[in-house]
């Protein structure tokens, strides 16, 4: 009866709000589907199955769903409307002319998306059909992974991945631990230890595990990989049920891999699309590049041109037809009724017909070309051997190819410090105990030996204090020891057969530091931590509680029990979080050392302890147990208890750990600044350490005047806001005096006489962002932002992850919307990486969350130089040229068609044959520009790397501004006029053959089209600076294909085509010598502005070389390359 009541209570708890649970937020899982009561019927609960579905389409919905998504794009929808108009209305051109290009674009995109989805289906099937072993009736049953149900007991063996989210019940290790890597989840390759609850840890066989009767209560599925709240209720016959808390350390996530543990048993709690891995599939918010915005603006202009042309032609048609002799021939006159009926409708259909005739001015194929360019172009980043790192054996990674060109437009770089600018490879340097500095090793005899160099003696603390400090270092951590060397993760050899394992490099450095001074941590066994002291005696401490580190508290603690029965709390953390919690008289002597170490660029931690009475411990133990059993607000309750426990401690000393700068960091920052970018460092580290790193990395120069907005300059009084206001006004006034108002392009100029740097900390930022009054807060933000933008470098220290994102958002939303880039390596950098226009992840030692959430990932900070200055520069130039070229060649294409209407009575007669209309954008002119946009190097790569100033020439979207757009538009208009009127004057004598045969309208159109195809293709050849065999192949191959197709379409190569209007037109045209000469002449005339521009630029360059002697041939080469390329065709700095 007791069991029955318990079970009903459990179910009610999971369904209704009760006690501390204020929402329906829990689920109840019965282990092994066994009811907790033998007398009560078991009703199986409904949870989702274990199938993973990452695919977007099925066989049945692919066509309608894909078509719906594609026609949501304005250009595709526009061409669909045009196609339908051609089908419904009697238009001058065949529906094929717009239908075929649209079909081509839709098909190519559908094939690409279908193939990508097929790959996802295949990957899903591999996972869903993989074999797993379920324990049923004390036997192992082999099943497909997709058939796992919530409540099944699963056995997982070494090096296998977990098929769903499991609560860890027991392992082959006697102590109920297992080792896991989560590389496929968050990219962290370091070793994580998970624990089984002590009541189930001993169930190590199928029979034992099958005898377990238990129910798990836990929260409903949520995506946070690092949070889990639950409890397990274990039932034994004739005994009270036992309840144990469950946390993230008890949860084994789907996608993680079991390491160095023979096998484990776990019970499935979340399956299929409810696992944390599946819930993290949700993509990041879509980022759009500045180029896309420019394309949309240009499209609107060309749409206006199209509407204007259609309106003009429709109006002039009815003006022309107002003369009766022009309206109808004498042999087919209309009746009065025909003249008057539906005049408005006829005008509307005529307008639509002209729209159809001129619709090719809108380049529909540009979208598919841009997509292909971005997709294929991204491979060049991944293939770059200079961005490959031998140490981690990985290169650059592209997660988002949509932003390639944005890499060439960056104005602000926000970077993390630890692990991004520095190596995150910690080395113990020194420690301080009661104000005495220790920089060597301590021997058994006199405590003053040194094994790593000459001895440095700084005075000594008392022996008992030294030992207390070193014991704290040996006990206050989460380091594990594993026998053997084959361990994945962050590892350090601690002896001939032992390996230190930890998720934090700081902790390993401190344990190694303690070993250096004679105290060696030997590992954890049955909840006892073993330490070997200086006398080689083994000391055992019972580990009672770990108060885990978190970024808000910035400290961690352990509670241990000594062999003599004493209860001790050891705590280590940042000075700002430890100093307020210790006796104030103990601080000063240690604070001096901490500040000095920070100035030297070392990472510092303070160490404190407190002795607890048995009564205190029992109270703490009860509070922690109660909080850990909570299913609602567990973290908040734990945080409050931790806050109460970590009070009134005694400071013992501090440690200093060195984290060296990565190679070439200083050179990279200098190059980025020379390229016109402003670099800001956003770090959680203390000000002194961060400032030292900024000087070492040359972010701050020796002549940089530093302005500080920190706790130190603000003071601790109640007048903080007043003091902040005074400082903001003072700095603002100082900066305005050095920056004249007429300097418009401030962010790209470095000609100031005095450089300023700003240092601001997290607490001041909180004051600026969260002022009591919104109006004051807004005013603070405005002044603060103006100060920041006028400084050459900014350092923000003691930052919370959310504040990093706030700073990025503040700059991103300023006037002009500057392009921002964030770079970081850890989970705390993800928020700013997602906030910036471009996010870069460093594949560092703090896991791979940053790399996983970024748009691009690189192994080291130094690779940022080539990624931006070379790849970014080239991608931007290529795609800008592609966009301008597409609009230009379509204007050249349609302008003669428009002019032709003035000579055919506005009858909507097409100038070009339907085949030429259809294939112009698909076949004749598409491949050359695609090859150009993938391979062009208008400036040598070495020059781009060595001269960062070249980056500034393309800044502020220079090549897609209205000035270069108008240049391309006028060039297209000039060439269109030259094509048409050149051939028109040629046709003043329409008999171009000796035998007097007269050329007709199709010959006229074919001559214009031939000149058009050759001109726009040769224009691209003139623009090409970097020739490869592929450029030659597609440029000359496209022209050859056009000639071949024209012969084919004219019936020479394919004689079955005799019955159409183009029969032998092209063949007769090319046999006419005057026609051929006219074609060559008109191509030359059309290209003459380009040719004259090149001649002028070369002459100007040579004159400049004579008048100005350059220091070396290398510099001359760079200068020539930049001159020959910078203004050609684009007018980007004229």
Residues 561, 572 contacting (CB under 8 angstroms)? no
Residues 669, 576 contacting (CB under 8 angstroms)? no
- ∠ CA 47-34-144, nearest 5°, is 50
- The residue ranges of DSSP E strands in 127-273, in sequence order, are 131-136, 139-144, 153-157, 165-171, 177-182, 188-195, 214-219, 230-234, 242-246, 251-252, 257-259, 263-270
Q: What is the DSSP letter of 175?
A: T
Which residues make beta-bridge pairs with 681?
A: 415, 795
Distance CA 145, CA 160 (A): 13
Q: What is the DSSP letter of 682?
A: E
Residues with Cβ within 8 Å of 605's Cβ and at least 6 positions away in sequence, in order, are 506, 510, 572, 573, 574, 654, 655, 657
* DSSP H or E run through 466: helix 463-475
- Would you call 131 helix, strand, or coil by DSSP? strand
Alpha helix (H) ranges present in 936-1072?
Answer: 941-946, 962-986, 1001-1023, 1029-1049, 1065-1071
Q: Which two tokens stand for residue 540?
A: 């055992």
Task: At 462, give phi and psi (nearest 5°).
Answer: -65, 150
- Would you call 394 helix, strand, or coil by DSSP? strand
Distance CA 579, CA 607 (A): 10
Task: At 382, give phi and psi (nearest 5°).
Answer: -65, -30
Q: Which two tokens stand for residue 701?
A: 């120069």
Residue of 369, 363, 371 lying closest to 75 (CA atoms): 363
- Burial (CB < 10 A; 0-12, 13-18, 19+), residue 643, is exposed
Half-sphere exposure at residue 744, Cβ-oriented, CA atoms within 13 angstroms: 2
Residues with Cβ within 8 Å of 381's Cβ and at least 6 positions away in sequence, in order, are 387, 396, 398, 404, 856, 867, 871
Residue of 349, 326, 345, 327 lying closest to 336 (CA atoms): 327
Residues with Cβ within 8 Å of 812's Cβ and at least 6 positions away in sequence, in order, are 818, 820, 835, 836, 837
Catalytically active residues are: 416
Distance CA 539, CA 1057 (A): 98
> Which residue in the block uniquely carries the two structure tokens 């009065």?
336
């Amino acid at each position: 009866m007791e069991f029955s009541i318990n079970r009903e209570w459990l179910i009610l708890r999971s369904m209704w709000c009760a006690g501390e649970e204020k929402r329906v937020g829990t689920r109840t899982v019965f282990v092994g589907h066994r009811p907790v009561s033998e007398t009560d019927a078991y009703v199986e609960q409904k949870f989702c199955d274990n199938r993973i579905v990452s695919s977007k389409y099925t066989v049945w919905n692919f066509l309608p769903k894909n078509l719906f998504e594609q026609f949501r794009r304005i250009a595709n929808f526009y061409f669909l409307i045009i196609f339908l108009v051609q089908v419904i209305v009697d238009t001058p051109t065949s529906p094929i002319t717009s239908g075929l290009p649209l079909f081509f674009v839709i098909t190519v995109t559908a094939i690409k998306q279908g193939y990508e989805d097929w790959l996802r289906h295949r990957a899903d099937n591999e996972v869903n059909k993989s074999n797993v072993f379920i324990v049923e009736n004390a036997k192992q049953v082999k099943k497909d992974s997709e058939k796992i149900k919530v409540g099944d007991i699963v056995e997982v063996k070494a090096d296998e991945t977990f098929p769903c989210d499991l609560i860890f019940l027991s392992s082959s290790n006697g102590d109920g631990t297992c080792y896991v890597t989560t590389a496929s989840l968050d990219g962290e390759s370091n070793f994580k230890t998970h624990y089984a609850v002590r009541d189930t840890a001993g169930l190590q066989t199928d029979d034992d595990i099958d005898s377990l009767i238990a129910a798990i209560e836990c929260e409903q599925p949520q995506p946070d990989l690092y949070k889990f709240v639950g409890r397990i209720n274990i039932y034994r016959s004739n005994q009270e049920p036992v309840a144990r808390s469950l946390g993230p350390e008890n949860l084994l996530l789907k996608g993680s891999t079991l390491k160095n543990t023979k096998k484990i048993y776990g019970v499935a709690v979340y399956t299929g699309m409810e696992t944390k891995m599946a819930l993290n599939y949700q993509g990041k918010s879509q980022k759009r590049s500045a180029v896309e915005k420019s394309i949309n603006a240009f499209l609107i202009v060309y749409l206006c041109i199209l509407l204007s042309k259609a309106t003009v032609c429709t109006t002039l048609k009815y003006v022309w037809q107002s003369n009766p002799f022009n309206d109808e021939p004498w042999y087919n006159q209309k009746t009065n009724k025909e003249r008057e009926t539906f005049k408005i409708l006829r005008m509307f259909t005529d307008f639509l017909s002209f729209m159809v005739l001129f619709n090719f001015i809108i380049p529909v194929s540009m979208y598919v070309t841009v997509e292909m360019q971005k997709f294929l172009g991204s491979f060049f980043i991944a293939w770059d051997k200079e961005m490959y790192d031998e140490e981690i054996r990985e290169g650059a990674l592209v997660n988002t190819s949509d932003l390639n060109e944005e890499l060439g437009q960056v104005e602000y770089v926000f970077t993390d410090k630890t692990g991004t600018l520095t190596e995150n490879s910690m080395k113990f340097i020194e420690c301080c105990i009661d104000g005495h500095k220790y920089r060597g090793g301590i021997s058994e005899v006199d405590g003053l030996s040194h094994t790593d160099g000459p001895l440095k003696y700084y005075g000594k603390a008392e022996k008992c204090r030294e030992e207390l400090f070193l014991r704290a270092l040996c006990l206050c951590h989460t380091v594990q020891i594993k026998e053997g060397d084959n361990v994945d993760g962050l590892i350090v050899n601690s002896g001939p057969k032992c390996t230190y394992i930890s998720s934090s490099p700081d902790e390993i450095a401190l344990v190694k530091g303690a070993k250096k001074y004679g105290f060696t941590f030997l590992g954890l066994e049955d909840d006892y931590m073993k330490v070997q002291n200086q006398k080689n005696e083994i000391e055992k401490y019972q580990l009672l509680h770990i108060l885990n580190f978190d970024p808000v508290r910035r400290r961690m603690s352990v509670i241990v029990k000594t062999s003599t029965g004493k209860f001790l709390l050891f705590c280590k953390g940042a000075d700002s979080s430890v100093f307020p919690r210790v006796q104030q008289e103990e601080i000063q002597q240690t604070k001096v050392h901490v500040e000095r170490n920070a100035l030297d660029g070392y990472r510092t931690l303070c160490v404190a302890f407190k002795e607890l009475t048995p009564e205190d411990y029992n109270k703490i133990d009860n509070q922690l147990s109660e909080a850990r059993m909570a299913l609602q607000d567990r973290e908040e309750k734990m945080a409050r208890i931790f806050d109460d426990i970590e009070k009134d401690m005694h400071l013992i000393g501090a440690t200093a750990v060195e984290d060296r700068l990565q190679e070439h960091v200083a050179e990279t920052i200098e190059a980025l600044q020379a390229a016109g970018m402003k670099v800001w460092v956003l770090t959680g580290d203390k000000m002194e350490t961060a400032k030292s790193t900024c000087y070492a990395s040359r972010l701050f120069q020796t002549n940089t005047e530093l302005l500080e907005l920190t706790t130190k300059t603000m003071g601790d009084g109640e007048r903080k806001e007043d003091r902040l206001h005074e400082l903001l006004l003072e700095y603002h006034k100082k900066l305005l005096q050095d920056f004249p108002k007429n300097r418009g392009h401030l962010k790209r100029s470095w000609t100031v006489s005095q450089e300023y740097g700003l240092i601001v900390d997290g607490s001041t930022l909180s004051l600026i962002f969260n002022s009591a009054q919104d109006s004051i807060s807004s005013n603070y933000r405005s002044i603060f932002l103006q100060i920041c933008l006028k400084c050459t470098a900014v350092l923000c220290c003691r930052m919370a992850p959310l504040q990093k994102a706030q700073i990025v958002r503040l700059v991103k939303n300023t006037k002009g919307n500057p392009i921002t880039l964030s770079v970081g390596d850890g989970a705390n950098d993800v928020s700013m990486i997602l906030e910036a226009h471009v996010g870069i992840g460093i594949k560092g030692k703090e896991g791979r969350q940053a790399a996983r959430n970024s748009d691009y990932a690189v192994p080291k900070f130094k690779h940022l130089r080539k990624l931006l200055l070379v790849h970014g520069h080239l991608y931007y130039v290529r795609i800008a040229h592609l966009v301008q070229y597409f609009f230009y060649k379509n204007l050249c294409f349609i302008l003669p068609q428009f002019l032709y209407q003035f000579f055919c009575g506005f009858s909507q007669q097409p100038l070009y044959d339907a085949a030429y209309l259809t294939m112009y954008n698909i076949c004749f002119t598409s491949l050359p520009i695609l090859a150009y946009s993938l391979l062009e190097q208008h400036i040598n790569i070495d020059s781009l790397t060595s001269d960062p100033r070249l980056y500034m020439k393309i800044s502020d979207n220079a090549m897609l501004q209205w000035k270069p757009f108008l240049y391309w538009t006028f060039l297209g208009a000039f060439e269109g006029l030259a094509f048409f009127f050149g051939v028109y004057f040629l046709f003043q004598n329409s008999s171009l053959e000796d035998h007097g045969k007269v050329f007709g309208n199709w010959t006229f159109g074919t001559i214009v089209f031939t000149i058009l195809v050759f001109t726009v293709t040769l224009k691209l050849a003139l623009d090409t600076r970097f020739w490869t065999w592929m450029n030659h192949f597609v440029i000359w191959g496209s022209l050859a294909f056009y000639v071949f197709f024209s012969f084919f379409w004219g019936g020479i190569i394919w004689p079955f085509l005799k019955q159409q209007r183009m029969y032998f037109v092209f063949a007769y045209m090319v046999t006419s010598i005057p026609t051929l000469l006219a074609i060559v002449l008109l191509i030359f005339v059309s290209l003459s502005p380009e040719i004259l521009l090149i001649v002028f630029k070369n002459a100007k360059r040579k004159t400049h070389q004579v008048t100005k002697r350059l220091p070396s041939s290398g510099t001359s080469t760079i200068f020539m390359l930049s001159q020959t390329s910078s203004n050609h065709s684009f007018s980007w700095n004229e």
